[in-house]
Structure 1
Amino acid sequence: MSQHDRINKNTSLFLLTWPILVELLLQMLIGNVDQMMISRYSQNAVAAIGNVNQIMNLLLITFNIITMATTIMVSQYLGSNNQEKVSEVYSLATYTNLFFSMILGALMVFGHKPMFKMMGMPLELYSDATIYMVIVGGLIFLQGVFMSYSAIFRSNGLMKQTMIISFVINFINIIGNFIFLNGLLGIPKLGVTGVALSSVISRLIGLIVVMIIFNKKLNAKISLKYLRPFPKETFKSLLRIGLPSAGESISYNVAQMWILSCVNRMGTYVIATRVYSNMIANFSFVYASAISTATQIIVGHLVGAGDIDDADELVMKTLKPTVLVSLIMSVIVFLCSDFIFSWFTNDPVMIALGKQIMFIEIFLELGRTFNLVIIRSMHAAGDIKYPVTIGIISMWGVAALLSYIFGIILGMGLVGVWMAMAMDELLRGVLVYRRWKQGKWRGKALV
């Protein structure tokens, strides 16, 4: 069976979505479990790790530049049955991410203090944040290379494999956290250091497993021989697709860092509440993220094969039930928020604030679902510049600006910040939906 036979217009969206959904849940856990398990030991540690993760999310977009482009290029090439440059794209993407991740790792080890200062991080968080940043950030190449393999697997429809690997990573991470935090097996209690070491060890094992599965499942190879002579045109194509595709994520995460700098002025308990709110909110939109990723892959194959109308029909059929599921999940989270927040804290002020945030989150998720499904499909179809442009304008003109006005100037605190972010998601959702219905994404395929 050829790669194109594996994914085409008859491919079940559900069969692609469910392993991605499980994988995303597991990926969320590897970052959130660290904060969940350490919340019983120190709220300062939770706030510190939350700040570091915000920085790392921004820097990880460097890898997304290549992985997004890899997913789009490989999907369209496989859709058009063009196998000639597949190994070249695989090799170029993997080694490029390795190169950039080594640079970023050095930056986080030696340049983390200016980053903390820029974000207005409270001084009492510096010690824990430094430990976590140096260990996890210094070895960020493990994530960079893993993300390249994950993009390759998804483009080829190997969703179950990445799901299993994510399970392995999370299982090892949880066991490691339990051992290091409780001082088992003769190991002293290591606190934040132990949580960071557990994350690194689990990711290393995950990378080894994904490399083994790649060699067994795919005929293509990742080798330096495909980079001699250096494939300049392929690299230019990756950047031409990846830079605009990642532009939206870059804008979003830089805006989130600005918003976090506003939240950092509100006190440690507000910072911790924001961390918990983001963790809980992630589960509200995980289904939308999974199905939008599966839709993106199929749309890429359909567009590559010239089945434009099928791609349009798929996106519209996907959107309505996805919005409904996301709304139901966010309403359930709101109704259960007191119970959920009590897992992390006994502070009634934090629990009450979290409930207010989860109510606003219902409206935020409505807009975010439109953005996830439509924007990723636009990327797959080659319509990249428009969502980036309106994303930058809205994220900064609405989310960032109004977060400062509502949260700081008007004194609405974290509630004002969440209102601003919800307004941003809703505005962009309306704009990209209108763009898709107008059909301006047609005719922008790469192949």
Structure 2
Amino acid sequence: MKPMGGKSGLWMLAWPIFIEIFLQTLLGTVDTIMVSRISDDAVAVVGISNQLFGALITLFTTFAGGAGILIAQRLGSGRNEEARTIAIMGVTVSTILGVAFSVSLFLYADPVARMLHISRELIPLSHVYLTYVGGGLFMVGMTASLGSAIRNTGNTRGPMYTGVAVNVIHILLNYILIFGMFGLPEMGLSGIAVSTMISRLIGVAVLLYMFSSAFERRIRLPDFRTFHRKLFAEIVRISWPLGLNSSSWVLSQLVIYSFLAMLGAKELAARTYLNTLESFCFTLGYAIAMAGQIQIAYLFGAKQTQEAYRAAYRTLYIGLAIVSANVLLLYLFGRSLLGFFTADPEIVAIGVSLLALNLLLQPCKMLNMAMGNSLNAIGDTRYTMVVSMISMTLIGVGGSYWLGISSGWGLLGIYCCMIADEAARGGLVLLRWRKRKVLSQAESQFAGRQQGVREKPGVACSVEL
């Protein structure tokens, strides 16, 4: 793994992550449009099913994310074998979790559909989608863990190329199978399920090949039986706060969307369209934050605590500059962009009235993401979990209901609370980083080990001989 210091290292890590996420978002939009060609019922089934899948995938990405942080730290400290072992266990556990949920969805698709309150007339469609797409969900877990391990070795291009190829294959197969091209029968929603399974399988195969040679010693199939209790406990220790953090965010967003539904269909539609535009606006900032996390974890593992401390601010400043420029463009051209989604003047007016608030919301999100990821990179995941859960519950959810629903501020009140939530979390994680608590502890431990080595010259001499 090459050293990851300075701006060039950050950009080299960030741009492939950006390309991967941007094209996934773009192709996901195209995918939704193609589903809409089947029927509105198909869109409804896919939409609500993907909400469930997203919540389950959080479990996979959480464990994989924790393992990824430790991989970068171990590589930074030169402990390549430990990094290799952590990567193997991360992939194994994510796969086991994925298989358990996949089997459950495959066997109990109809009860799950009823639990999601899918109407009776949509049960046949949901059965197809939940059974086959949900049944292959374990491949998403494998993709997440393999991609995370590979990225945290410094190779962000490999997962990017794979992700782009898989999404393109998925779109092409969708077109062929949904509409029955080249003499094939029209498969409708079943075609989407088959397309998803095939494209995911191809992605897993490519990433497995890439993963096998990601470390100095090649990874072979028998190696997946590897289990190291101490390292596994370390992965769990750093991962479970990330998991609660991510789960809390998913839950808070679902609750806030339920508040939006209470306001009315037009408000919900306006927020949905704005969310799509905001996603494109924030993509590069998110990639910078993810790249910063990898870089800081590597530097922290290499005991370069001063450089790790400065790297967080470099990530923040670059991210803020990019996100601020993007959100300014969104503010200037937002009315025209909303016109691509809807011709309803009332929905456009609601969306336009919120564009100015994005000038505050997106930079606050960047502050929270950059500094929160920096704390996660050095293992301070419990603090970010506690701050996030309290802020999202009291300010994000509680404030949104109070201002948006009870006080009658509507969507404006909900947006104000979203800004306050992001600003509060961002300010607290920034304050935590400035105090350097974990970094100072690491420096003291490192100094103690150095002092211990100096006090044992005989050992040093024997090593040199």
Q: Same fold (TM over 0.5)?
A: yes
- Paired with 2:395 and 2:117, the residues of 1 have a C-alpha distance of 21
Residue 425 of structure 2 is aligned to residue 440 of structure 1: no
**Matched letter for residue 241 of structure 2:** P
Distance 1:161 1:138 in 2: 26
The residue aligned with 1:337 is: 334
Q: Which moved more, 1:313-322 or 1:156-165?
A: 313-322
Provide the residue aligned with 1:166 in structure 2: 163
Please tell me the residue identity of whatever aligns with 2:368: N
What is the CA–CA distance in structure 2 between the aligned matches of 1:224 and 1:212, rounded to whole Å? Answer: 11
CA distance in 2, matches of 1:232, 1:188: 51
Which of 38, 63, 66 is equivalent to 1:66? 63
Counterpart of 2:243 in structure 1 is 246
CA contact (8 A) 2:212 2:219 kept: no
Match of 1:324 in 2: 321
Match of 1:347 in 2: 344
8 A Cα contact 1:91 1:223, kept in partner: no
Structural mapping, 1:198-213, within 5 Å:
198-213=195-210
State whether structure 2 residue 20 is matched by structure 1 residue 23: yes
| Larger Rg, first or second structure (1 or 2) | 2
Gap change, CA 1:339 and 1:396, over 3 Å in 2:
same
- Relative distance call for 1:146 and 1:179 in structure 2 (3 A) is same
Q: Deviations over 1:12-41 (max 9, x none)?
A: 211111111111212323533322433466
For 2:385, the equivalent position in structure 1 comes to: 388
Distance 2:438 2:356 in 1: 34
What are structure 1's unaligned runs of at least 5 residues?
none
Identity of aligned residues (%): 30
SS in 2 for 1:336: helix
* 1: CA distance, partners of 2:105 / 2:416: 32
Aligned counterparts, 1:70-85, within 5 A: 70-85=67-82
CA distance in 2, matches of 1:187, 1:424: 51
Say if 2:239 is the partner of 1:260: no
Which region of structure 1 is more displaced relative to structure 2, 292-301 or 183-192? 183-192
Q: Deviations over 1:298-346 (max 9, x none)?
A: 1111111111111111111221231121122123223333333343444
Give the equivalent residue in structure 2 for 1:49.
Answer: 46
Deviations 1:190-216 (A, max 9, x none): 444434443332222111111222335
Instruction: Tell me which amino acid in the other structure corresponds to 1:199.
Output: T
Structure 2 counterpart of 1:237, which letter? Answer: E
Q: Quick one: which of 366, 370, 374 aligns to 1:377?
A: 374
* Alpha-carbon distance, 1:385 to partner: 1.3
| Letter matched to residue 102 of structure 2 | G
**Contact 2:102/2:135 (<8 A) preserved:** yes
Name the TM-score, length of structure 1 as normaliser: 0.88
Q: Are the structure 2 counterparts of residues 414 and 139 from structure 1 closer, same or farther at C-alpha, using a change threshold of 3 Å?
A: farther
How many residues align structurally?
444
Bigger shift: residues 64-73 or 174-183:
174-183
Please point out which of 262, 283, 286 is paired with 1:286: 283
Contact 1:44–1:125, Cα closer than 8 Å, also in 2: yes
Quick one: distance in 1 between partners of 2:226 and 2:10? 39
Instruction: Provide the C-alpha distance between the structure 1 equivalents of 2:269 and 2:186, rounded to a whole number of angstroms.
Output: 23
Q: Give the Å deviation of 1:411.
A: 4.5
TM-score (structure 2 length as normaliser): 0.85
Higher relative contact order, structure no. (Cα contacts within 8 Å, ≥ 6 residues apart): 1
Report the Cα offset of residue 277 of structure 1. Answer: 3.0
User: For 1:131 and 1:225, how far apart are their aligned partners in 2?
Assistant: 35
CA positional deviation for 1:100: 0.3
Letter of the 2:364 partner, please give it. G
Distance 1:10 1:417 in 2: 37
**Which deviates the most, 37-46 or 117-126?**
117-126
1:153 and 1:162 in contact (8 A); partners too: yes
Structural mapping, 1:36-435, within 5 Å: 36-39=33-36, 42=39, 45-109=42-106, 131-223=128-220, 225-226=222-223, 230-266=227-263, 270-435=267-432
Aligned mates of 1:77, 1:223 — CA distance in 2: 21
CA–CA distance in structure 1, aligned partners of residues 196 and 115 of structure 2: 26
For residue 286 of structure 1, what is the amino acid of its counterpart?
Answer: T
Q: Tell me if the contact between 1:119 and 1:257 (Cα under 8 Å) persists in the aligned partners.
A: no
CA deviations over 1:29-56 (Å, ceiling 9, x no partner): 3533322433466555545433333322
Find the aligned partners of 1:284 and 1:116 in 2 and give their Cα distance.
34
CA 1:141/1:315 → structure 2, altered by over 3 Å: closer, same or farther?
Answer: same
Unpaired segments of 5 or more residues in structure 2? 447-465
**Distance 1:405-1:41 versus aligned 2 partners, 3 A rule:** farther
Distance 1:242 1:192, change over 3 A: same
The separation in 2 between residues aligned to 1:122 and 1:350, in whole angstroms, is 27
Q: Quote how far apart the aligned CAs of 1:92 are.
A: 0.9
> Do the aligned partners of 1:91 and 1:221 also contact (CA within 8 Å) in 2?
no
Alpha-carbon distance in structure 1 between the residues aligned to 2:400 and 2:110: 25
Give the root-mean-square deviation of aligned CA atoms. 3.0
Deviation of residue 146 (structure 1)? Answer: 0.7
Aligned partner letter, 1:60: I
Give 2:452's aligned residue. Answer: none
Note the C-alpha offset of 1:375: 0.8
- The answer on whether the counterparts of 1:215 and 1:221 sit within 8 Å (CA) in structure 2 is yes
- Gap change, CA 1:197 and 1:351, over 3 Å in 2: farther
Q: 8 Å contact 1:364–1:422 — kept in the other structure?
A: yes
Task: Give 3-state SS (helix, strand or coil) of 1:382's partner.
Answer: coil
Change over 3 Å in CA distance of 1:438–1:115 after alignment to 2? farther
Give, in whole Å, the separation in 1 of the partners of 2:172 and 2:271. Answer: 26
Tell whether the 8 Å contact from 1:65 to 1:239 is kept in structure 2 after alignment.
no
Report the Cα distance in structure 2 between the residues aligned to 1:179 and 1:149, rounded to whole angstroms: 29
